[in-house]
Amino acid sequence: MSGRILSVSDAHLFDLNAPDAQAFLAFLERPDTATAQLVVLNGDIFDFFVGRQRVALRHYAPVLERIETLATRTQVVFVQGNHDFHLDRVLSSNVAVVDQFDTITSAGLRVRWLHGDYVAPSRGYLAGHRALRSSAALWLTEHLPAHLAWQLALTMSRTSRDQGHDATPAQLDALRPQAARAARGSDLLVTGHFHCPHVAQLDGGGTWVSVGPWLNDCWYLSIEGDQWRVQQFDESGVTPPA
């Protein structure tokens, strides 16, 4: 097994026949992924998936099966996003389901993963986030009739999208103080959520890497030792960013 770490976020899987969804399934199955030391799925892998909602379980079964298969071959961590949470009720104990993940690479690089929605949330976002993660919302998604639960999930997904936005590099630069607080001494802070590939140096040391979305563009992060790079994936190989 290599010492390489791979990280993906913001696939927002819904139509599993879409090209980026098919590429994601191929990414999970490729030998280079299976032989990595660690694979971090950094939130919003699914467009909306809360707990053991029956329609979602059936709809996303091919993705869940591949994640579980990968977890028998290497360490897999799922950092919950604002579109997919309570997934400890869905994934087996082979997959660590967390809200934050820290590790140290073989070269001593301290890396922290956050989905990113809590780097600089507004009060409205926090209120919406608490509502979506409430026990009442979980109960509704798991116990409503299937067609109603699925419609509720789609409505909640649209609400979550409306509360966020695709950031620009300038907007991310303005968030560097908040990112520095979130990094709290890590050498590398890795987020998704913002749908914008961007790198920023943080005051006090450290680097913030906003990995672009897998959705449409298939961005992912590769780390080995103290070296890292953001790349794009296609089924024939890796295409470095322009």
Residue 242, pLDDT > 60, answer no
pLDDT at 156: 61
| Contact of 42 with 9, CB cutoff 8 Å | yes
210-230 tens-digit pLDDT? 999 999 999 999 999 999 999
pLDDT at 122: 77
Domain with residue 20: its CATH number is 3.60.21.10
| Contact of 141 with 149, CB cutoff 8 Å | yes
Residue 30, pLDDT > 90, answer yes
Would you place residue 239 in the very low, low, confident or very high pLDDT band (cuts 50, 70, 90)? very low
pLDDT at 153: 64
Residue 169, pLDDT > 90, answer yes
Residue 200, pLDDT > 90, answer yes
| Contact of 188 with 109, CB cutoff 8 Å | yes
Sheet holding 227-234, edge to edge: 95-98, 75-79, 38-41, 4-8, 219-224, 227-234, 237-239
Phi and psi angles of residue 23, each rounded to the nearest 5 degrees, phi first:
-65, -35
Count of C-beta atoms within a 10 Å radius of residue 49: 27
66-123 tens-digit pLDDT? 999 999 999 999 999 988 999 999 999 999 999 999 999 999 999 999 999 999 887 7
Phi and psi angles of residue 194, each rounded to the nearest 5 degrees, phi first:
-85, -10
Would you place residue 160 in the very low, low, confident or very high pLDDT band (cuts 50, 70, 90)? low
- Distance separating alpha carbons of residues 206 and 183, to the nearest angstrom: 8
Mean pLDDT for 167-195 is: 96
Mean pLDDT for 177-188 is: 96
- To the nearest whole number, what is the mean pLDDT of the chain? 89
Residues near 61 by beta carbon (within 8 Å), at least 6 away in sequence: none
pLDDT at 60: 96
- Distance separating alpha carbons of residues 96 and 89, to the nearest angstrom: 11
What domain count does the chain have?
Answer: 1
pLDDT at 123: 78
Residue 241, pLDDT > 60, answer no
Q: Find the domain containing 206 and state its range.
A: 4-239
pLDDT at 26: 97
Residue 187, pLDDT > 50, answer yes
| Contact of 57 with 90, CB cutoff 8 Å | yes
Measure CA 167 to chain center.
16
Q: Would you list the DSSP string of the chain?
A: --SEEEEE----B--TTSHHHHHHHHHHHSHHHHTSSEEEE-S-SBSSEESS-HHHHHHTHHHHHHHHHHHTTSEEEEE--SSEE-GGGTS-TTEEEES-EEEE-TT--EEEE--STTSS--HHHHHHHHHHTSHHHHHHHHHS-HHHHHHHHHHHHHHHHHH-----HHHHHHTHHHHHHHHTT-SEEEE-SS---EEEEPTTS-EEEEPPPSTTT-EEEEEETTEEEEEEEETTEEE---
